[in-house]
Amino acid sequence: MGFSSTLQVVVKLATKLVVGLGNPGKKYQKTRHNVGFDVLGEVAKQYGTTTPKSRFQGELVEAMVGTQRVFLLAPHTYMNRSGSSVRAAFDFYKFECEDLLVVCDDFNLPLARMRFRAKGSAGGQKGLNDIIRHLGTQELSRLRIGIGAAPDHWDIADYVLSRFTDEEAPEVKHVVKEAAQAIADWAAEGIGYCMNKYNSNG
């Protein structure tokens, strides 16, 4: 089978794209802004079928979640320019908007709270905003992970780049694992199911 034929088969089998947002490099590991990367890493750990590859200005892992083939993309463009990476993967695999789920942090949600949404504005999340800008639509499913509100004396930009405290870490570890299961549910059942199941918790 030639390269073009192989590529056609790959594109045909591609069914879902999950994008985890964060910033690349050790400097940003385990910061609040990188919780999307952490969730994606947990999904890859549980369901991944390939080693990470450098693709689409990011890191790409293939996974099988139940009967669904899922591509896991961590853009390495830095948070505010995530859209170019997502657009490249989106166009290559010919995804539709309903095939895409974006996982990101949200300082408007309490720590370790999950919230699914089927569409809407970026709500101040600059990575999500850039994806919306590149794809030209707000009709994008997203899973927001609460990182807690910034203390009064903190600048938001500094706060999201800070690390979780020792007291917060166990809650974050738990929600990362819960989010991986939620993504499996999304792949199998869709966004409406996940909104009903997970958003009812608060």
Lowest mean pLDDT among 10-24, 70-84, 86-100: 10-24
pLDDT at residue 21 in the model:
98
Q: Using one digit for the tens of pLDDT, what is the confidence trace for 155-180?
A: 999 999 999 999 999 999 999 999 99
Exposure letters 8-25 (e unless 16+ CB within 10 A, then b): eeeeeebebbbbbbbbbe
Q: Using one digit for the tens of pLDDT, what is the confidence trace for 22-54?
A: 999 999 999 999 999 999 999 999 999 999 999
Contacts 24+ apart (CB under 8 A), 42-48: 42/176, 42/177, 42/179, 42/180, 43/18, 43/70, 43/72, 43/180, 43/183, 43/184, 44/72, 46/180, 46/184, 47/184, 48/72
Any idea what DSSP says for residue 99? G
Total domains in the fold of the chain: 1
pLDDT at residue 5 in the model:
47
Active site residue 134: no
pLDDT at residue 7 in the model:
46
Residue 66's pLDDT band (cuts 50, 70, 90)? confident
Q: Please report, for residues 51, 77, 141, 171, the alpha-carbon distance to residue 110 in angstroms, rounded to integers and kept in the order given.
A: 33, 27, 20, 11
Mean pLDDT of the chain: 92
Q: Output the domain CATH number for residue 88.
A: 3.40.50.1470
Residue 13's pLDDT band (cuts 50, 70, 90)? low
Please say if the pLDDT value at position 145 is more than 90. Answer: yes
Q: What percent of the chain has pLDDT over 90?
A: 90
pLDDT at residue 15 in the model:
86
Catalytic position from the list 33, 76, 134, 153: 33
- Mean local confidence (pLDDT), 53-66: 96
pLDDT at residue 201 in the model:
60
pLDDT at residue 11 in the model:
47
- Mean local confidence (pLDDT), 182-189: 96
Residue 9's pLDDT band (cuts 50, 70, 90)? very low
Q: The domain containing residue 166 runs over which residues?
A: 3-201
